[in-house]
């Protein structure tokens, strides 16, 4: 009887440790998935790599930043595109495309001068004056 109780206690402790490890790992992954930064810092990283996004440490990762709309338009494919500047400037540093249809509608309604926060993946760009930001989620 004593052995059974000890075994149950050991299993419960093991299960609790595994669950705690999984929660900690999930929290760490979530924290690593999105980095808060500025468009200016991202653009400087892009310039430092010779205007090659694939050399940036942020390339392919999600980033969050505040920005202002320089111009909102549609791409040739019909989806919304936002030309964005850092909140302290008016020079286009990035072009943002939406994550889904809801974001496409939201981005299509934005006007020049509107400030917003975006969460995007740093996409491929080479040689252009601006960064490509894809799968963006916009929050006014």
Per-residue pLDDT reduced to its tens digit, 41-87 = 999 999 999 999 999 999 999 999 999 999 998 887 889 999 999 99
More confident residue, 1 or 107: 107
Confidence of residue 11 (pLDDT cuts 50, 70, 90): low
Q: How many residues does the chain have?
A: 140
- Asked if residue 21 has pLDDT above 50, the reply is no
CA–CA separation, 111 and 27 (whole Å) = 36
- Is the pLDDT confidence value at 28 over 50? no
Element (H, E) at 39: helix 39-48
Q: Under a CB-based contact definition with an 8 Å cutoff, are residues 51 and 93 in contact?
A: no
Question: Which H or E run includes 102?
Answer: helix 101-108
Separation between Cα atoms, residue 124 and residue 10, nearest integer Å:
50
Q: Return the number of other C-beta atoms located less than 10 Å from residue 91's C-beta.
A: 12
pLDDT at 7: 62
In this structure, what token pair is assigned to residue 25? 């790992």
């Amino acid at each position: 009887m004593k052995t059974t109780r000890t075994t149950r206690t050991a299993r419960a402790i093991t299960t609790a440790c595994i669950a705690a490890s999984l929660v900690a790992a999930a929290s760490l992954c979530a924290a690593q998935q999105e980095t808060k930064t500025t468009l200016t810092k991202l653009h400087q990283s892009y310039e430092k790599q010779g205007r090659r996004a694939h050399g940036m440490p942020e390339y392919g990762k999600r980033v969050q930043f505040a920005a202002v709309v320089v111009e909102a338009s549609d791409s040739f494919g019909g989806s919304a595109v936002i030309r964005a500047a850092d909140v302290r400037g008016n020079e286009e540093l990035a072009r943002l495309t939406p994550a889904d249809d809801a974001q496409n509608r939201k981005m299509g309604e934005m006007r020049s001068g509107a400030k917003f926060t975006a969460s995007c993946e740093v996409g491929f760009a080479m040689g252009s004056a601006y960064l490509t930001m894809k799968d963006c989620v916009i929050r006014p």
